[in-house]
Amino acid sequence: MTDEQRDALQAAATAQRSIKAQFQKWKRKPPKDLDERFHAAHEAAFERMDCLTCGNCCRTTSPIIRERDLDRLAKHLRVKPGALIDAHLRMDEDGDWVFRGAPCPFLDLEDNRCSVYEHRPQACREYPHTDRKHMAGILPLTARNASICPAVAEVVVQVTGGAERPQ
């Protein structure tokens, strides 16, 4: 991870209380342009962010792995889904399949590349979810991701700073 990425995480950690307070308000009454604010900040963050110098999501958390993901990955690896489960997966407290540990077994720790990139789970494709519709519905998840993903950290600092404008 670069110093800039570490600084982004630190800035969000420092502003954590005000970010959470703002998210609480938005949960009750989201501004009409909330998605647009998030999406603009997401675009700006990822224009500069190089995931290959970071890899922190794949190093520290697991995506949820749906049946379709399991089948696609197993086919690509030429193993049976059951063998993939035995080798790498566990069921979490919500009954979802996740990788058994972190870092992800498919992450190359040297260069942060995903060895199954074309066949990666849907949740990996959608991470870090700051370009989704109805951001008001995933504010707690976004607050959690701000401590993992420097891009999300930048996004939440940006959008909550912007939220001080009249709504």
Interface with ligand SF4 (CB under 6 A): 49, 51, 54-58, 63, 104, 106-107, 114, 116, 120-121, 124, 127-128, 148-151
Provide, rounded to whole angstroms, the least separation between the CB of residue 114 and ligand SF4.
Answer: 3
Q: Which is nearer to ligand SF4, 128 or 160 (CB)?
A: 128
Burial class from Cβ neighbours inside 10 Å (0-12, 13-18, 19+) for residue 32 reads exposed
Q: Which is nearer to ligand SF4, 4 or 86 (CB)?
A: 4
Residue 98's region, left for phi above 0, alpha for psi from -120 to 50, else beta, is: beta
Q: Is the omega angle on the peptide bond into residue 81 within 30 degrees of 0, that is, cis? A: no
Provide, rounded to whole angstroms, the least separation between the CB of residue 165 and ligand SF4.
Answer: 26
> 38 and 154 in contact (C-beta within 8 Å)?
no
Q: Which is nearer to ligand SF4, 1 or 25 (CB)?
A: 1
